[in-house]
Chain A
Amino acid sequence: MSIKYLALIFIFIFFISCDSTFEKENHPFIQMLNSADLDIESRFVLFIPQNGCPSCIKKTYSFILDHTDNKDVSYVFTHYSTKKAIKIYLNSMEVADEGNFYFLKKSLGDKYDLSMMYPTLLETTSSGRVKTVLMNSDDYSDWQSLENSL
């Protein structure tokens, strides 16, 4: 086989391996949700660590308040001390549970290396592949991008 063809094959493999999306069943966070018997069909799943960066948590709750009726987003609370504290806080914001709030045990989050500092966004694309975004940009462009997608 000529060097030219080998180079083309190499480049092809390179670009395929650069794809940061997964088939849904192969994505570790989907496997994590399955382990917890959480069957979430939303296009976007936002993992919200309660013990993380305070401004990030504040931003997340602000986002929930603005999009509570949007069925394209589900919220999974992680790394929390108590579910009660989260429910009290959501009640104080007059956010009703529309069936898209979930809780994930810390041990599972740690096992799958879910960030305990920043929210993580899981997006299922139109092709059925799943990708993740760590929501930690300094200029909140990641949040803006999510807003634009909704």
Chain B
Amino acid sequence: MIIKSISRLLIWSLVFFVFDKADAQSLNDVGIGRILSLKLDAETAFPGYFGSNFYYANDKKALVYYNQISSSLKYFDPSSGITLGETKLQTMGPNSVGQEPYYSHYHTKDSIFVFARFGKLALTLVNGKGDKIGEFDFGSESDFSKVPYPRMSNAFGGMEVVGSKIYMGLQVAHNLYNNTKAPVIIIDMKTGEYKYLNRPIPYADVNFKRLPKSGQFEFFEARLMVDRTDGSLVLTYPVPGNIFKISEGIVKKIDLESKELVGSFNFLKSDNSTYTTRDTDYTKMIMTNPRNLGFLYDSYKNVYYVIRKVKGDPKSYDKMINGLGKFYYKYLYEVYDNGFNLLDSKIISAEHLVPNKGIVVSPEGLWVLKPQGDDENIMKLALLNFNFVKN
């Protein structure tokens, strides 16, 4: 009897061991390497729908996460995942960054830029203690003739700071008439002056009525990246085929090598007045359409990472709607050298990684947030295994 029980226990242990190893192998097979578990304190939670900002603080050797719910930047040890400290932002009083700060950009330990949803059209600069040390206004030209409301794009690519210049990537106006310039503001920190980038005007050759709007304007977030080697700006609009490199005022459209992997974009019919956001065909179009997320610059390896959502399978979507299956987005992760030569690429399901929620470059490479697991006090980042040598 005892021998029978022990045998049964050994067999089941072997079964669990095999399946556990199989699961670990599957993550490696899809291109995921090290997993870092960040231990969250009582006031820190996984990002909401629009994601949040992650950075690598070179001067602190720490991972930085902007916890919107407590308006604070949390610092984590990149080896152990334990919390090292925080910078608490103030929303009232003399150190106020505005109400509902939702975008923070860690530049150095005493230079943190913050943009708030309400209160002011300005970037607030705070130090590591959260004390306000500067402010950069961009509201004096607020006739909203250029963009409906200067609002930074979410999660990443909404801001870069290089030298004395701040580059802000904003949402595209969702009608043709407000888009007279690119949704990019460049602020000179020395003079305080700011200007909009003149070109490229977003979707200049598209009938805006044919762009699915969606409730969250997912086709309207422009993201930018500055290549520190030549100072050029790479600007991405979500609709595929809209990637631009801007250098000394010259705008060049970039065609990435792997565009076929992303799939073709479906526009609405030109007489789309019958579509509503609750129309199944409309939501299917939004959910399955491919889109660009954006670029990230890796200064450690001198490469660009590009993340794009791959066209979804409409049949899988239909099954999901009818409760007959699951539907996951798939994302294409690519790494290019700064001549836009493709070095490596991977397609990974959102079942494993959610780049729209959080993504960061560290000396080790590109980390992407994993979906929230059962333990809400743990948030995991996964390091992608790329081949950085061109074949």
Tell whether, in the assembled complex, residue A88 and residue B45 are in contact, meaning their CB atoms are under 8 Å apart.
Answer: yes
Query: Roughly how many angstroms separate A56 CA and B146 CA in the complex, as a whole number?
Result: 26
Asked if A52 lies at the interface with its beta carbon under 8 angstroms from chain B, I say yes
Asked if A11 lies at the interface with its beta carbon under 8 angstroms from chain B, I say no
Query: Roughly how many angstroms separate A113 CA and B322 CA in the complex, as a whole number?
Result: 11
Tell whether, in the assembled complex, residue B377 and residue A84 are in contact, meaning their CB atoms are under 8 Å apart.
Answer: yes
Query: Roughly how many angstroms separate A79 CA and B50 CA in the complex, as a whole number?
Result: 13
Contact residues of A between 23 and 69, Cβ < 8 Å to B: 50-54
Whether A117 contacts B277 in the complex (CB less than 8 A), given A51-B48, A89-B69, comes out as yes
Binary flags per residue of A67-82, CB closer than 8 Å to B gives 1, else 0: 0000000000001011
Please indicate the chain A residues that have their CB under 8 angstroms from the CB of B49 in the complex.
Answer: 50-51, 79, 81
Tell whether, in the assembled complex, residue B117 and residue A82 are in contact, meaning their CB atoms are under 8 Å apart.
Answer: no
Tell whether, in the assembled complex, residue B215 and residue A52 are in contact, meaning their CB atoms are under 8 Å apart.
Answer: yes
Tell whether, in the assembled complex, residue B215 and residue A85 are in contact, meaning their CB atoms are under 8 Å apart.
Answer: no
Query: Roughly how many angstroms separate A85 CA and B379 CA in the complex, as a whole number?
Result: 13
Please indicate the chain B residues that have their CB under 8 angstroms from the CB of A88 in the complex.
Answer: 42-43, 45, 69-70
Please indicate the chain B residues that have their CB under 8 angstroms from the CB of A4 in the complex.
Answer: none
Asked if B372 lies at the interface with its beta carbon under 8 angstroms from chain A, I say yes
Tell whether, in the assembled complex, residue A111 and residue B323 are in contact, meaning their CB atoms are under 8 Å apart.
Answer: yes
Binary flags per residue of B133-164, CB closer than 8 Å to A gives 1, else 0: 00000000000000000000000000000000
**Residue in A closest to B215 when the chains form the complex, CB atoms:** A117
Tell whether, in the assembled complex, residue A50 and residue B48 are in contact, meaning their CB atoms are under 8 Å apart.
Answer: yes
Interface size class of chain B, counting residues whose CB lies under 8 Å from the partner chain: 20 to 34
Residues of chain A whose beta carbon lies under 8 Å from any beta carbon of chain B: 50-54, 79, 81-85, 88-89, 92, 110-111, 113, 115-117
Tell whether, in the assembled complex, residue B46 and residue A85 are in contact, meaning their CB atoms are under 8 Å apart.
Answer: yes
Tell whether, in the assembled complex, residue A82 and residue B45 are in contact, meaning their CB atoms are under 8 Å apart.
Answer: yes
Query: Roughly how many angstroms separate A81 CA and B372 CA in the complex, as a whole number?
Result: 7
Tell whether, in the assembled complex, residue B45 and residue A53 are in contact, meaning their CB atoms are under 8 Å apart.
Answer: no
Contact of A81 among B43, B47, B321 (CB under 8 A): B47
Tell whether, in the assembled complex, residue A82 and residue B372 are in contact, meaning their CB atoms are under 8 Å apart.
Answer: yes
Query: Roughly how many angstroms separate A110 CA and B216 CA in the complex, as a whole number?
Result: 17
Query: Roughly how many angstroms separate A84 CA and B216 CA in the complex, as a whole number?
Result: 23
Contact residues of B between 44 and 59, Cβ < 8 Å to A: 45-49
Nearest-neighbour CB distance to chain B for A47, whole angstroms, equals: 15
Query: Roughly how many angstroms separate A9 CA and B45 CA in the complex, as a whole number?
Result: 59
Nearest-neighbour CB distance to chain A for B281, whole angstroms, equals: 14
- Pick 11 A–B contacts, CB within 8 A, sort by A: A51-B216, A54-B117, A82-B46, A82-B372, A83-B376, A84-B376, A84-B377, A85-B45, A88-B45, A89-B69, A110-B321
Contact residues of B between 317 and 341, Cβ < 8 Å to A: 320-321, 323
**Residue in B closest to A49 when the chains form the complex, CB atoms:** B49
Please indicate the chain A residues that have their CB under 8 angstroms from the CB of B45 in the complex.
Answer: 81-82, 84-85, 88
Sample of 19 further A-B pairs with CB below 8 A, known A53-B215, A117-B215: A51-B49, A52-B215, A79-B49, A81-B46, A81-B47, A81-B48, A81-B372, A84-B45, A85-B46, A85-B48, A88-B42, A88-B45, A88-B70, A92-B69, A110-B321, A113-B278, A115-B278, A116-B215, A117-B277
Please indicate the chain A residues that have their CB under 8 angstroms from the CB of B377 in the complex.
Answer: 84
Query: Roughly how many angstroms separate A119 CA and B70 CA in the complex, as a whole number?
Result: 24
Nearest-neighbour CB distance to chain A for B92, whole angstroms, equals: 14
Query: Roughly how many angstroms separate A83 CA and B320 CA in the complex, as a whole number?
Result: 23
Query: Roughly how many angstroms separate A53 CA and B49 CA in the complex, as a whole number?
Result: 11
Please indicate the chain B residues that have their CB under 8 angstroms from the CB of A51 in the complex.
Answer: 48-49, 216
Please indicate the chain A residues that have their CB under 8 angstroms from the CB of B117 in the complex.
Answer: 54
Nearest 5 CB-CB pairings of A with B: A51-B49, A85-B45, A84-B376, A117-B215, A84-B45
Query: Roughly how many angstroms separate A81 CA and B47 CA in the complex, as a whole number?
Result: 7
**Residue in A closest to B40 when the chains form the complex, CB atoms:** A84
Q: Name the residue among A52, A54, A84, A111 with the largest chain B CB count within 10 angstroms.
A: A84
Q: Name the residue among B320, B357, B376 with the largest chain A CB count within 10 angstroms.
A: B376
Contact residues of B between 21 and 69, Cβ < 8 Å to A: 42-43, 45-49, 69
Please indicate the chain B residues that have their CB under 8 angstroms from the CB of A116 in the complex.
Answer: 215
Query: Roughly how many angstroms separate A117 CA and B216 CA in the complex, as a whole number?
Result: 9
Query: Roughly how many angstroms separate A92 CA and B46 CA in the complex, as a whole number?
Result: 17
Query: Roughly how many angstroms separate A117 CA and B321 CA in the complex, as a whole number?
Result: 17
Please indicate the chain A residues that have their CB under 8 angstroms from the CB of B69 in the complex.
Answer: 85, 88-89, 92
Tell whether, in the assembled complex, residue A82 and residue B376 are in contact, meaning their CB atoms are under 8 Å apart.
Answer: yes
Please indicate the chain A residues that have their CB under 8 angstroms from the CB of B215 in the complex.
Answer: 52-53, 116-117
Query: Roughly how many angstroms separate A50 CA and B48 CA in the complex, as a whole number?
Result: 8
**Residue in A closest to B102 when the chains form the complex, CB atoms:** A54
**Residue in B closest to A54 when the chains form the complex, CB atoms:** B117
Binary flags per residue of B68-79, CB closer than 8 Å to A gives 1, else 0: 011000000000
Query: Roughly how many angstroms separate A22 CA and B199 CA in the complex, as a whole number?
Result: 55
